[in-house]
Amino acid sequence: MPLRLETGQTVAIGPFNPHIITPEWLVANGICADEDVELRFQPLSQGISFGFKELQWAIDFRMLLVASRNANCGERVALVIDLLRHTPVRAVGNNFNYACTGEEWGNSPVPMLGAADLQFFGDVGAVEQTRWVGVFRIESARVEVTVATEGTGVAVLLNVHRETKTAEDAMSSARQFEADQKLGRDLIARLFHQEVAE
C-alpha cells in the first residue's frame, strides 16, 4: 500500500488582512463556491479560519494558508494574491504531508539515532519519534523533505519554498502546486523507494 496524502497546502507569507479575506469575499470574487462554511475564530493570533467543502482557510496578519486533501490549493492562493496585489508577499510554500503504517513502509530507509537500533536507547527512555531531514536546492526552490517515524506510523513531509519579490512571483510560485506535488512524488520514489497513491 503506498503513502497517502493527508493534506496539501499552500502558504503565502505576508501581511494579509483577515477582515478582507472572508468567506463572503471569496464567494463574491469567484474563488470559492457558495456552500456551507464552518467558521473557527483565532482570537490569540488575530486571525480567522474557516472551511468550505474541500478547502480549509486560515488568514492572519502574517500569512494566508489554504489546505485540502483534493483541491489545488496554490490556484486559490494565486487568485487571492491577484486581487490583492498591494499585499507584499515575501515567500510561498507548497506543502504535502503523506503517511502510512510502518508495515506499509516495509524495508525502506527510516531515521536512525546513529547506527544503533532504537531499542539500544531503552536505558535513556522510550524513543517517541525519530526524524530525518534533507534540504535541497532545486532550481529556484528550497525543498525540505522530512521523514518521521512514531509508534507504528511513518510520515513524509515535503515543503517547497520560494522567496518572492512581486505579486507575479508569488502567483507563479503558488501555481507550481501540481508541479511541486509531482516533484515530491519523484523525490519520495528516489530517496525512499516509495509510491504515493494518486
Classify residue 53: in a domain, yes or no: yes
Classify residue 198: in a domain, yes or no: no
pLDDT tens string 53-82:
889 999 999 999 999 999 999 999 999 999
* 3-class state of residue 143 by DSSP: strand
- Enter the C-alpha cell of residue 176: 507550481
Question: Which residue range is the domain that position 43 belongs to?
Answer: 4-192
pLDDT tens string 6-16:
999 999 999 99
Classify residue 197: in a domain, yes or no: no
- Enter the C-alpha cell of residue 178: 501540481
Classify residue 137: in a domain, yes or no: yes
What torsion, rounded to 10 degrees, do the Cα atoms 123, 128, 134, 140 define?
A: -150
Classify residue 107: in a domain, yes or no: yes
Domains contained in the chain, number: 1
